[in-house]
Amino acid sequence: MQPPEPILPAIIDSTMMNCFRACPQKYFNEYVLGLRPAEPSIDLHAGAVFSKTLERFCKEVYLNGLDTPAALARAHATFMGEWGDFVIRKEGHPKTPENMWAAVEDYVRVYPPGSDRVQPYFAGNSATFEYSFAIPLDLPGFPRHPISGDPFIYAGRFDLLGKRDGRPVVRDEKTAQRLESNWAEKWDLRSQFLGYCWALQHFGIPCNTTVVRGVIITKTMIRQVEAIKIYAQHLINLWYEQLRRDLHRLCRCWEDSYFDYNLGDTCTGYSHCSFIPLCSSASPSNWYGSYEVNRWNPLLTNPSAAQPVLSGDGTETDQNHS
């Protein structure tokens, strides 16, 4: 089989750039060719459903003035619609519909709207639920897209732009199946959150803080944990400079028609890389039929959902499942 058409994305986000830093060849397979395992990811689906459900709950409370039971009832309708006919094929996986809804109810119990220390940040009359941004990197020292000549666009989406103790903060929920011993420390240099703070500062919002809320979902229990991370300005500046350098390296890989291999821990970390068959084979084309084409769209709540996305020449490309 022939590989799908390579398309260098014009829109990038933290997930994509972290993938490139870990292994440029994985970036090529996943984001340039758009390859994904044919079996959909339960973790991505469950996380997106949780996020949309919580967004609906918050809107009903803060914008429509409903009490918690009424808001939960409307949120449950959103939950059922977002979950749809998704089928879990991994036996014993804890992120069942029942457990995910229980996680929503438990989140509301632990962080009741009336006493939650993180309240929505209002810009005029609009609350910033599911805050998203797309910033053209038409900035000194940044490369242009090698096909279109336009700036790359840095995009992101997080669960809530809020206020805590009178200061703007990013609030982001992370669903997981276990609580790691270093869970809170994982976010100390998290480029995802450094980038969020940079984006908000770019828009004139003086934010340097992220409230990370972990929702731990196991077969037998739901647990809520929280970490508050305040980032020094030099770290946000460091993130900015690293993004600039990495984009130059990404453009060189494209121009050289060669994306480097990691050949290390990235190949075997977190349940193994899904592209090991491609990288291991002397004839990678034999394996293309094992994947589907589904290109990542950073501007969606579930970025892996099949959608038209912007290609390098500024046109939309049809990214429905192949």
List, for residues 181-237, the tens digit of each pLDDT value. Answer: 999 999 999 999 999 999 999 999 999 999 999 999 999 999 999 999 999 999 999
DSSP-assigned beta bridge partners for residue 131: 158
Residues found in the chain: 322
Least confident of 89-103, 155-169, 252-266, 299-313: 299-313
318, pLDDT greater than 70:
no
In a domain, 213, yes or no: yes
Residue 104, domain extent = 42-139+150-240
127, pLDDT greater than 80:
no
Res 312: pLDDT: 43
Other CB atoms within 10 Å distance of the CB of residue 119:
17
98, pLDDT greater than 60:
yes
DSSP string of 10-38, one letter each residue: SEE-HHHHHHHHH-HHHHIIIIIS-EEES
37, pLDDT greater than 90:
no
305, pLDDT greater than 80:
no
Distance CA 228, CA 2 (A): 47
Other CB atoms within 10 Å distance of the CB of residue 134:
15
309, pLDDT greater than 90:
no
Are 8 and 145 in contact, with CB atoms under 8 Å apart? Answer: yes
Q: What percent of the chain has pLDDT over 70?
A: 92
In a domain, 288, yes or no: no
Distance CA 186, CA 190 (A): 7
Residue the block writes with tokens 């609009």: 126
Distance CA 103, CA 223 (A): 8
In a domain, 301, yes or no: no
pLDDT band at 9 (very low <50, low <70, confident <90, very high): very high
Res 321: pLDDT: 29
pLDDT band at 313 (very low <50, low <70, confident <90, very high): very low
| Among the listed residues 239, 166, 162, the one whose alpha carbon sits nearest the alpha carbon of residue 198 | 239
Distance CA 290, CA 185 (A): 37
167, pLDDT greater than 50:
yes
In a domain, 261, yes or no: no
Are 174 and 32 in contact, with CB atoms under 8 Å apart? Answer: no
In a domain, 249, yes or no: no
DSSP string of 129-177, one letter each residue: EEEEEEEE---TTPPBPTTT-SBPEEEEEEEEEEEETTEEEEEEEEEES
The mean per-residue pLDDT over the stretch 30-46 comes to 90
Other CB atoms within 10 Å distance of the CB of residue 20:
23
Least confident of 132-136, 212-216, 217-221, 311-315: 311-315
pLDDT band at 130 (very low <50, low <70, confident <90, very high): confident
Structure tokens given for 244: 């600039």
pLDDT band at 303 (very low <50, low <70, confident <90, very high): low
Phi/psi of residue 172, each to 5°? -140, 135
The mean per-residue pLDDT over the stretch 12-41 comes to 94
307, pLDDT greater than 80:
no
Res 320: pLDDT: 32
Q: How many domains does the chain have?
A: 1
In a domain, 236, yes or no: yes
- CA 258-259-265 angle, to 5 degrees, is 145
In a domain, 25, yes or no: no
The mean per-residue pLDDT over the stretch 235-255 comes to 98
278, pLDDT greater than 80:
yes
In a domain, 287, yes or no: no
263, pLDDT greater than 90:
yes
DSSP string of 166-202, one letter each residue: TEEEEEEEEEESS--TTTGGGGTT-HHHHHHHHHHHH
Are 285 and 1 in contact, with CB atoms under 8 Å apart? Answer: yes
The mean per-residue pLDDT over the stretch 242-260 comes to 98
Structure tokens given for 183: 């869970």
| Among the listed residues 297, 255, 298, 273, the one whose alpha carbon sits nearest the alpha carbon of residue 25 | 273
The mean per-residue pLDDT over the stretch 249-253 comes to 98
Domain CATH code at residue 93: 3.90.320
249, pLDDT greater than 90:
yes
Average pLDDT score, the chain? 90
